[in-house]
Structure 1
Amino acid sequence: MTAKAGIVWTLLIITAGLMSLAFIFFSLFPGKVPDVAWQYFSPDNAERARQYQQAMRLAGILAFLAQVAVLVGLVTSTRATAWSDAALHITGVRYYMALVIYFVLIWLLLKVVALPFNFYSSFIVQHQWGFSTQNLASWWLDYLKGGILELVLSGTGVLLLFWATGRWPHTWWAVAALFLSGWLFISTFLWPLLVAPLFNRFQPITEGPVKTMVAQLAGRAGLRIEEVLVMDASRRTTKANAYFTGLGTSKRIVLYDNLLEDYPLDEVEAVIAHEMAHWQRGHIFRGLLWGVLANFLLLGLLYAVLRITFTYDIARPGPYPPHLLVAMLLFLQLVSFLGQPAQNAISRRYETEADWVALELTANPGAMIRLHVDLAQKNLGDIAPPAFITWLAASHPSPLERIINVESWRKYNTKNMD
Structure 2
Amino acid sequence: MNAGIVLTALLTMSALLQIWLAARQFRYLQRLAERRLREAGRARVAFACSVTALEFMLTLGLTLGGGIAYLDGFWHDRPAGAAGLVASVVLASVLLHVALRIAYARIVEASLDVARFSLKELLARASRPILPIIIVSAAAGQALAWLMTTAPSTWWLWATLLWTAGLIARVWLISDQPGGGLGTPFLPSSQPLTDPRLAPRLAAALARYGLAGSEIRITVSPPGALRANARLAGTGRSRHVELSDTLLYLLTPAEVEAVLAHEAGHWRCRHVIRDLANRALLSMAGFGALALAMHHPWILGQMAIPDTSPAAWLAAAVALAPLAAVLATPLRAHWRRQMEYEADAFAAAYADKQALMRALEKLDASNATDRAGDPIYACFHHFHPSQTDRRRRLDTMPTRE
Same fold (TM over 0.5): yes
Q: Distance in 1 between matches of 2:279 and 2:111?
A: 36
Moved over 6 A (4+): none
Q: Partner of 1:39 in structure 2?
A: none
Among 246, 250, 260, the residue aligned to 1:272: 260
Deviation at 1:156, TM superposition (A): 1.8
Paired AA for residue 184 in structure 2: P
Q: Distance in 2 between matches of 1:79 and 1:125?
A: 31
Q: Partner of 2:270 in structure 1?
A: 282
* Structure 1 residues 18 and 268: CA distance shift in structure 2, 3 A: same
Deviation at 1:144, TM superposition (A): 1.5
Does 1:356 find its partner at 2:345?
Answer: yes
**Superimposed CA distance per residue, residues 120-157 of structure 1 (whole angstroms, 9 cap, x where no aligned partner):** 21233222221114322221111121222222222221
Q: Partner of 2:200 in structure 1?
A: 212
8 Å Cα contact 1:162/1:319 also seen in 2: no
Q: Partner of 2:26 in structure 1?
A: 28
Q: Partner of 2:361 in structure 1?
A: 373
Tell me, which stretches of 5 or more residues in structure 2 are unaligned? 302-306
* Structure 1 residues 183 and 312: CA distance shift in structure 2, 3 A: closer
Tell me, which stretches of 5 or more residues in structure 1 are unaligned? 35-42
Q: Secondary structure at the match of 2:385?
A: coil
Q: Partner of 1:159 in structure 2?
A: 142
Q: Distance in 2 between matches of 1:263 and 1:172?
A: 50
* Structure 1 residues 213 and 12: CA distance shift in structure 2, 3 A: farther
* Structure 1 residues 164 and 408: CA distance shift in structure 2, 3 A: same
Among 154, 157, 163, the residue aligned to 1:171: 154
Q: Secondary structure at the match of 1:307?
A: coil
Q: Partner of 1:145 in structure 2?
A: 128
Deviation at 1:336, TM superposition (A): 2.4
* Structure 1 residues 319 and 296: CA distance shift in structure 2, 3 A: same
Paired AA for residue 353 in structure 1: E
Paired AA for residue 89 in structure 2: I
Q: Distance in 1 between matches of 2:278 and 2:371?
A: 29
Paired AA for residue 19 in structure 2: L
Deviation at 1:178, TM superposition (A): 0.9
Deviation at 1:402, TM superposition (A): 1.8
Q: Partner of 1:19 in structure 2?
A: 17
Q: Partner of 2:223 in structure 1?
A: 235
Deviation at 1:251, TM superposition (A): 1.5
Q: Distance in 2 between matches of 1:168 and 1:83?
A: 25
Does 1:197 find its partner at 2:181?
Answer: no
Paired AA for residue 163 in structure 2: L
Q: Partner of 1:255 in structure 2?
A: 243
Q: Secondary structure at the match of 2:296?
A: helix
Q: Partner of 2:319 in structure 1?
A: 330
Does 1:94 find its partner at 2:78?
Answer: yes
**Superimposed CA distance per residue, residues 334-383 of structure 1 (whole angstroms, 9 cap, x where no aligned partner):** 11231111111110011011111101111x23212211221121111125
Q: Secondary structure at the match of 2:243?
A: strand
Deviation at 1:267, TM superposition (A): 0.9
Which range moved further: 218-227 or 100-109? 100-109
Deviation at 1:22, TM superposition (A): 2.2
Q: Distance in 2 between matches of 1:284 and 1:8?
A: 37
* Structure 1 residues 11 and 217: CA distance shift in structure 2, 3 A: farther
* Structure 1 residues 151 and 64: CA distance shift in structure 2, 3 A: farther
Q: Distance in 2 between matches of 1:49 and 1:309?
A: 49
Aligned sequence identity (%): 21
Q: Distance in 2 between matches of 1:348 and 1:223?
A: 23
8 Å Cα contact 1:5/1:308 also seen in 2: no
Among 115, 136, 156, the residue aligned to 1:132: 115
TM-score by length of 2: 0.88
Q: Distance in 2 between matches of 1:219 and 1:356?
A: 18
Which range moved further: 350-359 or 296-305? 296-305
8 Å Cα contact 1:242/1:253 also seen in 2: yes
* Structure 1 residues 342 and 383: CA distance shift in structure 2, 3 A: closer
C-alpha RMSD over aligned residues: 2.7
Deviation at 1:119, TM superposition (A): 1.6
* Structure 1 residues 196 and 235: CA distance shift in structure 2, 3 A: farther
Deviation at 1:166, TM superposition (A): 1.5
* Structure 1 residues 115 and 197: CA distance shift in structure 2, 3 A: closer
Q: Distance in 1 between matches of 2:299 and 2:380?
A: 34
Q: Partner of 1:37 in structure 2?
A: none
Among 208, 214, 229, the residue aligned to 1:226: 214
Does 1:391 find its partner at 2:391?
Answer: no
Paired AA for residue 165 in structure 1: M
Deviation at 1:164, TM superposition (A): 1.6
Q: Distance in 2 between matches of 1:67 and 1:256?
A: 32
